C-alpha cells in the first residue's frame, strides 16, 4: 500500500492536483481559518499603524535580498562592539577542543546572550518597526509573532562534513513564515554564505525530493545533497548572501530550500529574526530577554498588537494540533 501511495505521489496526475487544487485550498485554509485571529489583527494593524513603508517582497519566490539598510548596519556595528575578537577567538578555541572529543564536528554557537542591552534593544526596535511588520504581515496575510531572535557565530572546522543545515533543506515547522537573515560581519565565499532557493513555483511547500536523505537523527533527515538539488533547481533560482554589513536576506524558511554556514577560511556572525504564526510547532516560550523590552507607544491598540507580536505563543492551539497540521502538509507532498 505504501509503495502504491508513493508511486501515486510521483505521478503527473497528482502533480496537477497539488498545483491547481491542493495548494490553493491550503493557502485559503491556513490564512482564513487556522489563522483567523491573525487575519483580524492584521486588518486592525492596517487601521492604526503609523507608517505604510515596507520592503518590496516577491510573494511567489518567497525571498528577497535587501542590498543595504542603515538600521541593519547599525545593529552590526553595535554587535561587533560587544562581541570583540578576543571573545570570539575563545569561543572558536572551545568549539575546536570539544570537536576533538566528539565524532560530530560542531561549527556554530549562539551568542545572543553576550550582547549588551543597548544592542538587544536596537535589534528589537528594528524587529518591531512598522517597516518590518508591514513586510511580514503583507507576505503572510496575517499579523505575525516574533519567534526567534538569535545571533549565530560560525567558524571554519577541518574535516567537517556537509550535513545538517549545510545541505539543502526546508524548516519543517509550519506552513508559512518569514525570516530576516542579517549579516553582522562581512561575508564572502570563504565565510559560509547563506544560499536560498526560490520557493517551487508550482508546488511550494508541497514539493519534496525523491532522493532526500533519510536518517533517524532529525537534523540530518530530509536534507538534499548539492548534486541532487541541481537536478531540479537552476542557478538563476538560487540566491547567495554575500557582501558587507547592512545587507540582508528575507525568505520563508518553511517554503524555501536553503543552506549555509559552511565556513571555509573565515568566521561569520549572523542575526536571524523569524516571524511565524500560532500554528508553527517551533513557537514555544517567549524569548527571555524580550521580557525587559518596552515598546513605548501611547496608542492602546498598538500596544496590544506589540504584546501579541512579542509574547503570544498560540495558546489556543495545543502541540498535538500543531503537529497534526505539519504532518498533514508533509503527507500531501508531491515527490520528484
pLDDT at 102: 79
Sign of the torsion angle spanned by Cα atoms 76, 127, 71, 176: positive
Collapsing DSSP to helix, strand or coil, 195 comes out as strand
Asked if 275 and 179 count as a contact pair (C-beta separation under 8 A), the reply is yes
Spans of all domains in the chain: 2-335
pLDDT at 288: 85
Task: Take residue 183 and report the three cell numbers written for it.
Answer: 549579516
Asked if 18 and 206 count as a contact pair (C-beta separation under 8 A), the reply is yes
pLDDT at 284: 80
pLDDT at 158: 79
SS (H, E, C) 197-238: ECCCCCCHHHEECCCCCCCCCCCCCCCECHHHHHCCCCHHHE
Output DSSP code: residue 313.
-
pLDDT at 39: 98
User: Which tens digits make up the pLDDT trace of 308-330?
Assistant: 999 998 877 888 999 999 999 99
> Which residues of the chain register pLDDT less than 70?
159
pLDDT at 35: 96
C-alpha span between 330 and 332 (Å, rounded):
6
pLDDT at 58: 87
Asked if 254 and 147 count as a contact pair (C-beta separation under 8 A), the reply is no
* Domain 2-335 falls under CATH 3.10.20: no
Q: Burial code of 99-131, b = ≥16 C-beta within 10 A, e = fewer? A: beeeeebebbbebbebbeeebbbbbbebbbeee
User: Which tens digits make up the pLDDT trace of 40-67?
Assistant: 999 999 999 999 999 998 888 999 999 9
Amino acid at each position: 500500500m505504501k509503495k502504491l501511495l508513493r508511486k501515486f505521489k510521483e505521478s503527473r496526475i497528482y502533480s496537477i492536483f497539488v498545483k491547481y487544487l491542493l495548494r490553493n485550498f491550503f493557502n485559503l485554509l491556513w490564512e482564513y481559518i487556522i489563522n483567523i485571529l491573525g487575519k483580524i489583527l492584521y486588518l486592525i494593524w492596517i487601521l492604526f499603524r503609523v507608517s505604510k513603508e515596507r520592503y518590496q517582497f516577491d510573494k511567489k519566490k518567497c525571498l528577497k535580498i535587501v542590498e543595504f539598510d542603515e538600521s541593519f548596519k547599525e545593529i552590526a556595528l553595535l554587535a561587533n562592539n560587544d562581541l570583540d575578537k578576543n571573545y570570539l577567538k575563545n569561543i572558536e578555541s572551545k568549539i575546536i577542543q570539544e570537536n576533538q572529543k566528539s565524532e560530530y564536528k560542531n561549527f556554530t554557537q549562539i551568542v545572543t546572550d553576550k550582547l549588551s542591552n543597548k544592542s538587544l534593544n536596537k535589534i528589537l526596535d528594528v524587529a518591531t518597526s512598522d517597516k518590518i511588520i508591514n513586510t511580514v504581515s503583507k507576505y503572510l496575510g496575517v499579523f505575525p509573532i516574533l519567534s526567534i531572535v538569535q545571533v549565530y557565530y560560525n567558524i571554519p572546522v577541518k574535516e567537517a562534513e556537509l550535513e545538517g543545515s549545510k545541505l539543502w533543506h526546508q524548516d519543517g515547522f509550519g506552513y508559512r513564515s518569514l525570516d530576516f537573515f542579517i549579516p553582522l560581519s562581512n561575508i564572502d565565499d570563504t565565510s559560509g554564505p547563506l544560499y536560498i532557493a526560490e520557493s517551487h513555483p508550482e508546488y511550494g511547500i508541497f514539493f519534496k525530493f525523491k532522493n532526500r536523505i533519510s536518517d533517524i537523527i532529525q537534523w540530518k533527515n530530509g536534507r538534499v545533497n548539492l548534486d541532487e538539488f541541481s537536478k531540479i533547481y537552476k542557478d538563476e533560482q538560487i540566491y547567495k548572501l554575500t557582501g558587507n554589513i547592512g545587507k540582508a536576506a528575507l525568505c520563508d524558511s518553511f517554503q524555501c530550500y536553503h543552506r549555509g554556514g559552511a565556513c571555509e577560511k573565515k568566521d561569520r556572525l549572523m542575526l536571524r529574526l523569524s516571524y511565524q504564526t500560532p500554528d508553527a510547532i517551533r513557537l514555544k516560550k517567549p524569548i527571555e530577554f524580550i521580557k525587559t523590552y518596552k515598546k513605548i507607544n501611547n496608542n492602546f491598540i498598538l500596544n496590544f498588537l506589540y504584546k501579541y507580536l512579542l509574547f503570544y505563543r498560540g495558546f489556543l492551539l495545543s502541540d498535538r494540533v500543531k503537529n497534526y497540521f505539519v504532518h498533514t502538509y508533509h503527507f500531501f507532498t508531491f515527490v520528484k
